[in-house]
Structure 1
Amino acid sequence: MSATLPTLVEAKAQAKRLRTGLEAEGREISHSQSLELVARQHGFRDWNTFHAAMGNRPPEGFTPGGRIEGTYLSQPFAATVLAVEMLRPGWFRLELDFDEAVDVVTFDSFSNFRKRIRGTVGPSGTSRERTSDGTPHLVIEI
């Protein structure tokens, strides 16, 4: 078994990368097969056992007082996490206090700065909400 277990989000991302990598080599496997392989890589007999061992811990930094970085409305930020709530496995509502206020308006003759925000991010660290060009509102570096 690994000394430190990944979070559920990280383990699922590993499985996705494994599946994509194998597909690129012409070896297709199902999503569940990739999860089982990742569990075995970490020394567990199957995904269910691995999942139970990991628990539903949030990614590193997703705790009150934790430090995270990312982009909000395409603007880079560093922030302190004020509050976190798990909505369902892999999905977290975060309240963030940016180190520096972020201008959330792209119009040249108008600005609107935000220092605190609330946002929900999923397993990949991105929000479901998107700008008109398809960019996620909130992206957290995981």
Structure 2
Amino acid sequence: MTPNSLPFPSRDVLKSQAKRLRSDLAARGQILSHAQALETIAHQWGARDWNTLSAQAGQSASGWHPGQRVTGRYLGHSFAGAVKAARQASSGFWTLTVRFDEPVDVVTSPLFSSLRRQVDTTINAEGVSPNKTSDGQPHMVLKPA
């Protein structure tokens, strides 16, 4: 699948990608201007230049990004937290690392507990995981806070 067949993230997400690119290259001793980083990101997404990509991306808030506050249910337990890492995967899915504000008990047994503070998950653009529990509920249901 080519990059330009994926839905475009928001401009803010694309700008964050450019900022990380500059930082990574600077750590290796390669200096890149902000404009050069934006143009590079545009080319990686299959656009002619940053202005073209920016117009295609629009100002939509679609997509998930690090630092984003979220709420939802994980294995049936309500939570609030933040996206620690986000990567757009194929076919409109996202791979996220979510850090809970308070640990979530992922066990239904009254005999013991297993608390999780952070989980990796795959969700669609609507924030619902394709994986389901034995009773048919999605593992993760996520929404922006």
The size of the alignment, in residue pairs, is: 92
Query: 1:84/1:58 Cα in 2 relative to 1: closer, same or farther (>3 Å)?
Result: farther
Query: 1:8/1:83 Cα in 2 relative to 1: closer, same or farther (>3 Å)?
Result: same
What is the alpha-carbon distance in structure 1 between the residues aligned to residue 128 and residue 107 of structure 2?
20
What is the alpha-carbon distance in structure 1 between the residues aligned to residue 67 and residue 111 of structure 2?
35
What's the C-alpha RMSD, in Å, of the aligned pairs? Answer: 2.5
Q: CA deviation at 1:8?
A: 7.1
What is the alpha-carbon distance in structure 2 between the residues aligned to residue 111 and residue 66 of structure 1?
28
1:53 is aligned to: 56
Q: CA deviation at 1:123?
A: 2.8
2:133 is aligned to: 131
- Segments of 4+ moved more than 6 angstroms: none
What does 1:1-142 align with in structure 2 at a 5 Å threshold?
53-54=56-57, 59=62, 62-141=64-143
Question: SS of the counterpart of 2:56?
Answer: helix
What is the alpha-carbon distance in structure 2 between the residues aligned to residue 8 and residue 77 of structure 1?
28
What code does the residue aligned with 2:65 have?
T
Percent of residue pairs identical? 38
What is the alpha-carbon distance in structure 1 between the residues aligned to residue 66 and residue 126 of structure 2?
20
TM-score normalized with structure 2 length: 0.56
What is the alpha-carbon distance in structure 1 between the residues aligned to residue 75 and residue 122 of structure 2?
13
Q: Deviations over 1:60-102 (max 9, x none)?
A: 6x21111111100010111111100000252100001100000
Contact 1:86 1:93 in 2 (8 A): yes
Q: Where do 5+ consecutive residues of structure 2 fail to align?
A: 1-6, 10-54
TM-score normalized with structure 1 length: 0.57
Contact 2:8 2:56 in 1 (8 A): no
1:31 is aligned to: none
